[in-house]
Structure 1
Amino acid sequence: MTDGPLVNRTVVVTGAARGVGAALARDLARRGTRLALLGHEGARLEEVARSLPAPSLTYEVDITDEEGLRRAARAVRARLGPASAVVANAGIAEGGPFALTAADRWRRVIDVNLTGSAQTARVFLPDLRETAGYYLQIASLASLGASPMMSAYCASKAGVEAFAHALRAEEAHHRVAVGIAYLNWVDTDMIRDADRHAVLRELRAHMPLPARRVHPADLVAARLARAVEHRRTAVYVPAWLRLVQVTRAALPPVVLRVSRRRLPLLEAGEPFRATGLLGAGGQADQVAARAPRPGA
């Protein structure tokens, strides 16, 4: 592409080694961006970079490491110029009852999804102010209505929605736009791993038909790339999630009613247990969280 709002603009994508992040990187590259791919898995980031039509920067970093993120931001600035857009996509999840989830893993989900997103915004805000840029926070259906067996994930995604709303109000006079992407089920390692666990699989199976459908990562990435191009305040994938937004107050009693009926039946068939961090990305995060940090 030789013309368009993102041509020769620097865009940062976190969690770019796989799933939605990798698919978004490929779509944005076709729109002429200069890409900075951030994530845990250096080899996979390089693999994604080699699949792109133009050179890009890869940087292996844990987004809960603020100093590491600052080094990444300096590297992006030096190699590609100040970021015009940042997509806070990195995230992990664990399923299972809150009472049986290890406290350190519960906290890790919050740290990555919420605190890591906020730190990503913090280190790139100087660039976004300079470029009158755009920050896109990846949220979820879980931001609109909490589900049992996913307490940390739901809490973190509700948190990033509130954070993005606050950041938008604070940064508007600096000409920085802030968007929120509400995603339903996407065909990623995380969701495929969740389906291996009976309780998570059954909970999704008992959602209304449109809500349980899994969407291809490339389709989701195309919608997100258009949101970045047009600096959308909100993007819903699929589009009907917008209806959930206006009826969200009605969701908790519905979820409670269904849970009271379904959870005892599921527990009778198979005892509940924590799943551990889901998917290959979750496993990579677990390894990275245990690794010593530079200077530590």
Structure 2
Amino acid sequence: MTANPLRDRIVVITGAARGLGAALARELARRGARLALLGHEGPELDVLAASLPTTALAVEVDVTDSSALDEAAGHVRGRLGRPSAVVANAGIAEGGPFATSDPASWRRVIDVNLTGSAHTARAFLPDLTATAGYFLQVASLASLGATPMMSAYCASKAGAEAFAHTLQAEVAHEGVAVGVAYPAWADTDMIRAAEGFPALHNLRVRMPPGVRTIHPADAVAVRLARAVERRSTAVYIPAWLRLVQPLRWALPPVVLRLARHDLPRWDTGHPLSATGRLGAGGRADRAAAAQDDGRQR
């Protein structure tokens, strides 16, 4: 290990325009990495790339479009070289009861968070194999224990965790390392938007002390960057969340008991309803998906 193991290394980050992706980009750049910033918010990516102290390439792409991701991987390869690390960070969320959720919107969360991660891995695996690189899947606290009102998000993040574990076993003999990140609550526009809905706010504050804390995005990014440096198999934020792993089996009955008692009164007397895709990133995803639909018609 050198003093700066990421210096001049090429790292790809999806969902880099805002939130954890942007915070991680700034932290990795501080450590000397050269970055490929992927997402469908082109102007925001350009601004971020221009603000970083190291070389950064902004690539506008939707992670649910496998052909476009293949082109993006070729563009990164041609402009920067082969990446030695890829962080599958792109994600969106929507809250509300499953029974009244919009099927297309529900499926979009799955497509971005799970299928988009798989597309990302598929596009960049040739590079990671050539560089004996590292793939970090950003999962979530939701991967460890599902909660009501977040069915698509929890299902997608649990699926992303399972995908990463499967990929880890498949590519280890090729020298490629795969890790899973389990961040709890981070101060991003998605979480701030969720806090505006009483049911989602109460789901968080009724969690045990420590779990319910909202952590600064920059602090989470430091832990993620360290995981990239160390090629970590798993990173928990906060670190003590690793203690939850052997107790996962006990979480569903606890959540069920809590929800059965409290869910009917959490929305201050109003019917529980869909939140729509949360935060500025969710709105940008909705706009990009609508634009894609328009082009296909």
Q: TM-score per shorter chain, which class?
A: over 0.9
* Long gaps (5+) in structure 2: none
Q: In the alignment, which residue of structure 2 is the partner of 1:101?
A: 101
Q: In the alignment, which residue of structure 1 is the partner of 2:57?
A: 57
Q: TM-score, normalised by structure 2?
A: 0.97
Please give the secondary structure, in 1, of the residue aligned with 2:93: coil
Q: Is 1:25 matched up with 2:12?
A: no
Q: In the alignment, which residue of structure 2 is the partner of 1:284?
A: 284
Deviation at 1:170, TM superposition (A): 0.2
Q: In the alignment, which residue of structure 2 is the partner of 1:258?
A: 258
Distance 1:242 1:41 in 2: 34
Q: In the alignment, which residue of structure 2 is the partner of 1:204?
A: 204
Distance 1:174 1:165 in 2: 15
Query: What letter is aligned with 2:41?
Result: E
Q: In the alignment, which residue of structure 1 is the partner of 2:230?
A: 230
Distance 1:142 1:74 in 2: 33
Higher alpha-carbon deviation: 262-271 or 244-253: 262-271
Q: In the alignment, which residue of structure 2 is the partner of 1:86?
A: 86
> Is the 2:93–2:109 contact (alpha carbons within 8 Å) kept by the matching residues of 1?
yes
Deviation at 1:172, TM superposition (A): 0.5
Deviation at 1:251, TM superposition (A): 0.2
Query: What letter is aligned with 1:284?
Result: A
Please give the secondary structure, in 2, of the residue aligned with 1:211: coil
The alignment's C-alpha RMSD in Å is 1.4
Q: Deviations over 1:223-260 (max 9, x none)?
A: 00000000000000011111111211100000000001
Instruction: Give the 5 Å matches for 1:137-176.
Output: 137-176=137-176
Q: In the alignment, which residue of structure 1 is the partner of 2:186?
A: 186
Q: In the alignment, which residue of structure 2 is the partner of 1:271?
A: 271
Q: In the alignment, which residue of structure 2 is the partner of 1:241?
A: 241
> Is the 2:16–2:25 contact (alpha carbons within 8 Å) kept by the matching residues of 1?
yes
Distance 2:44 2:183 in 1: 23
Calculate percent identity across the aligned residue pairs.
66
Q: In the alignment, which residue of structure 2 is the partner of 1:11?
A: 11
Query: What letter is aligned with 1:170?
Result: E
> Is the 2:198–2:267 contact (alpha carbons within 8 Å) kept by the matching residues of 1?
no
Deviation at 1:291, TM superposition (A): 1.4
* Long gaps (5+) in structure 1: none
Distance 1:65 1:291 in 2: 13
Distance 1:240 1:76 in 2: 36
Deviation at 1:292, TM superposition (A): 3.0
Deviation at 1:216, TM superposition (A): 0.3
Distance 1:295 1:161 in 2: 33
Please give the secondary structure, in 2, of the residue aligned with 1:212: coil
Q: In the alignment, which residue of structure 2 is the partner of 1:118?
A: 118
Distance 1:31 1:80 in 2: 17
> Is the 2:16–2:90 contact (alpha carbons within 8 Å) kept by the matching residues of 1?
yes
Query: What letter is aligned with 2:64?
Result: T
Distance 1:205 1:31 in 2: 35
Q: In the alignment, which residue of structure 1 is the partner of 2:41?
A: 41
Q: In the alignment, which residue of structure 2 is the partner of 1:128?
A: 128
